[in-house]
Amino acid sequence: MRWIDEKALEDIAMGAAVLGTGGGGDPYIGKLMAQQAIREHGPVRLIEVDELADDDLVVPAAMMGAPTVMVEKLPRGDEVVKAFKALEAYLGTPVKAVMSIEAGGLNSTVPFSVAARLGLPLVDGDTMGRAFPEIQMVTPTLFGISATPMTLADDKGNSALLSTIDNRWTERFARSITIDMGGASMIALYPMRGAQVKKAVVRGTITLIERIGKSIREARQNKADPIEAVLSVTGGFRVFVGKIIDVARRTESGFAKGEATLAGIDADRGHTLKIEFQNEHLVAIRDGEVVVSVPDLITLLDAETGEPVTTEAMRYGLRVVTVGIPCTELWRSPEGLALVGPRYFGYDIEYVPVEKRFGH
């Protein structure tokens, strides 16, 4: 157990954007919300998974919708607490801890707001080890754990409660409601007991994103290479160095979808890399050949500062290093690949682990 204060959130937000693989919502907005909550209510207690009792009720809290919407439609701040309290009231059992649904972007910092405002501990873990676009794309799905009962709340004061037959139906209904709520909602879902959390989540991811953010900050302070610092902490690989020459983005069916094209520089001069995304980066295609794909992580880092570049921040002329990071082993199982592998997203390719292509 340790305490997370306002200052620690700087590193956490930075690291969250790295594992967010372009999506998960702008971590800057989530950081400001969490910092305000901590300023008002005090620091958040971060606990390890094994500190939970087997019957403790744990509820992840998150934002749902297209990350591009969040840039223009800021949350008030109390929506996520409203969703959380509505779920707790429905379950009729006090929640003992909060958790992140994903280790990426805004959704790594949103649970800090809930934890601070309600005086609850935050579990050091998440259900993806990265960010994914759809609700069923979590490790608890692999263990037969239901996303519902689930609650959604918007900035106008509306809330909804869902109960579904499986997690893919949860995604369909929740996406429709989120679109009606203006393209973004705050959600509480996947209520779990401590015993379920212990077997079904990716452990230690809050500590990991803090380490990633700290490594970027310290590298810049010491005039070292922040890209190398990220690779060292994550076990990742340099995939491509280039300049963004085209970005096509559209908000469709509640997702930010599109592609970015990079023209190679330095060792990659004369080559092109295309990155296709649905909130998060899905595949990296070099000269027509897929070189990294989900469920491995594809992250763009600013070539100078090492700062992660989200899908909504990609723009013409930006010099970036594309990094590939191995995913958690849970996603590499046949069940994991059926849920989040390239074929689910419509790519007729075999998944090849990033370290097989780039490891030396």
d(CA 152, CA 139): 21
Beta-bridge partners for 257: 250, 278
Q: Which CATH superfamily is domain 224-358 in?
A: CV3147-like (2.40.390.10)
Residues of the chain with CATH 3.40.1610.10: 2-205
Residue 257: per-residue pLDDT = 86
Three-state DSSP at 43 gives coil
Domain at 2-205: CATH architecture: 3-Layer(aba) Sandwich (3.40)
Q: Give the residue range(s) of CATH 2.40.390.10 domains in the chain.
A: 224-358
pTM value? Answer: 0.94
Give 3-state DSSP helix, strand, coil % of the chain, rounded to 5.
40, 30, 35
Residues of the chain with pLDDT under 50: none
- Non-local CB neighbours of 303 within 8 Å, separated by 6+ positions: 227, 241, 319, 320, 321
CB neighbours (10 Å) of residue 104?
34
Tokens matching residue 243: 């300049």
The pLDDT score that the predictor gives to residue 106 is 84
pLDDT reported for residue 66: 67
Residue (of 178, 186, 177, 147) closest to 30 by Cα position: 186
Tell me the β-bridge partners of 281: 277
- Residue 101 and residue 121: Cα distance in Å, rounded? 15
Distance (Å, whole) CA 62 – CA 188: 6
Digit-coded pLDDT (tens) for 249-291? 887 777 778 999 999 999 999 999 999 998 889 999 999 999 9
